[in-house]
Amino acid sequence: MEQTAAAPLEVYFDLAEKVRDATGITVTACYQCRKCTNGCPLTFAMDYYPDQIVRLLLLGREEEVLHSATIWVCSSCETCTTRCPNDIDIAGLMDHLKSEAHRRGIVRPKGNPTYAFHKVFLDDIARRGRVFESGLLNRYLLKSGEWKAKLETGTLWGDLRLGWALFSRRRLPLFPHGVMNKQEIRSLIEEEPGAAETEGDENT
Ligand code: SF4
Ligand code: SF4
């Protein structure tokens, strides 16, 4: 039987340029050494490894990337970014992809803790220009559903003891503090359309 040759894989420069324009990250610099993936602590829970996410972007398969679980599994620990010999900020790329998926209304895994943290963190920055740790922790626990799980397993008391220890050492403020140029920071955040949509978000 006559065999037909597979079509050669080609770099989809339009998408690579779009990513670079939005983030300053040059995915075309990747030469697939996989150092990012080999250092990532969360590959066991990913459907695509970090180097594969970069590869898929280079091949123009944006929809596949935006629907992947990987972008919501990534905890932004930056190990991959530190290890990349070509200075590709893969953690920053994952953050951008989270925002892009959210902007397009692509459904996240329900109750996803990374998504919950992403939301409450950006909401806090948009509101005050900086994070209020005590409030962020409470909202994260409620939004992610961890509050209930911790109550059921009894691990909440350990968290409360740690919170008290931090508070008594003045490491956890009781009241929020804003910054001078809140409006400037808010306008930067509002360019990320997902950031301000806390109410009525059906995916958490
Ligand atoms: S470490 Fe950098 S160059 Fe190597 S595969 Fe990952 S993104 Fe590509
Ligand atoms: S930032 Fe995300 S992709 Fe990179 S090593 Fe950490 S968890 Fe893995």
Ligand nearest to the CA of 39: 2
Ligand nearest to the CA of 35: 1
Compute the residue count for the chain: 204
Atom of ligand 2 nearest to the CA of 43: 8
Pocket perturbation via mutation, ligand 1, pick of 90, 94, 97 by most ligand atoms within 8 A of CB = 90
Q: How far is the CA of 60 from the centre of ligand 1 (A)?
A: 17
CB 94 less than 6 A from any atom of ligand 1: no
Q: Which pTM does this prediction carry?
A: 0.70
CB 33 less than 6 A from any atom of ligand 1: yes
Residue 71: how many other CB atoms lie within 10 Å: 28
CA atoms within 13 Å, Cβ hemisphere of 8: 2
Atom of ligand 1 nearest to the CA of 37: 6
- Tens of pLDDT, residues 178-196: 777 777 777 776 665 444 4
Single-letter amino acid, residue 59: L
- Residue closest by Cα to atom 8 of ligand 2: 40
The mean pLDDT value for 31-39 works out to 96
- Tens of pLDDT, residues 86-120: 999 999 999 999 989 988 888 666 667 777 887 88
Alpha carbon distance 88, 26 (integer Å)? 7
- Residue closest by Cα to atom 6 of ligand 1: 36
- Tens of pLDDT, residues 38-74: 999 999 989 999 999 999 999 999 999 999 999 999 9
Residues above pLDDT 90, as percent of the chain: 38
For residues 136-163, b (16+ Cβ closer than 10 Å) or e, as one string? beebbbebbebbeebeeeeebeeeeeeb
Is residue 154 scored above 90 in pLDDT? no
- Residue closest by Cα to atom 2 of ligand 1: 84
Q: Hey, where are the domains in the chain?
A: 13-104, 113-191
Query: What architecture is domain 13-104?
Result: Orthogonal Bundle (1.10)
Single-letter amino acid, residue 62: E
pLDDT of amino acid 147: 85
